[in-house]
Structure 1
Amino acid sequence: MLRLLKVLFFLVLLGFLGLVGYAYLGDLPPVQADLSQPLTLDVD
């Protein structure tokens, strides 16, 4: 039982380190585009 807990702890730790590494090293720039939309104002 203790061996299973060690393996589970190791997998959780490995997953956490992978997530932190992806957050810091993952290159995911946002997609940017110009947006132009006509606007009509109802001013009386």
Structure 2
Amino acid sequence: MTRKLFKFLLYLLCLAFLGVVAYAYIGPLIGSDFDAPTREIRQPVTLHAD
């Protein structure tokens, strides 16, 4: 019984991994955007140099 459960969990893990890999390749084709939002940030810095 334990062996069957372990085997089932291993198959499920492999299937989940393949699903994530497939989504990574197919996602941009179906409209998912994986790019991080970018914007320029300017912040004044005060240097205390003696």
- Name the TM-score, length of structure 2 as normaliser: 0.50
Aligned AA for 1:23?
Answer: A
**Deviating more after overlay: 16-25 vs 33-42:** 16-25
What residue in structure 2 maps to residue 25 of structure 1? 26
Identity %: 46
Aligned Cα root-mean-square deviation (Å):
2.5
Aligned AA for 2:22?
Answer: G
Give CA deviations for 1:9-31 in whole Å, capped at 9, x if unaligned.
3x444423211111223331110
**Residue 34 of structure 1, CA deviation:** 0.8
Say if 1:40 and 1:12 are closer, same or farther in 2 by CA, change over 3 A.
Answer: closer
**The structure with more radius of gyration:** 1
Say if 1:14 and 1:41 are closer, same or farther in 2 by CA, change over 3 A.
Answer: same
Structure 2 residue runs of 5 or longer lacking an equivalent are 28-32
Say which structure, 1 or 2, has more relative contact order (CA 8 Å, 6+ apart). 2
Count of equivalent residues? 40
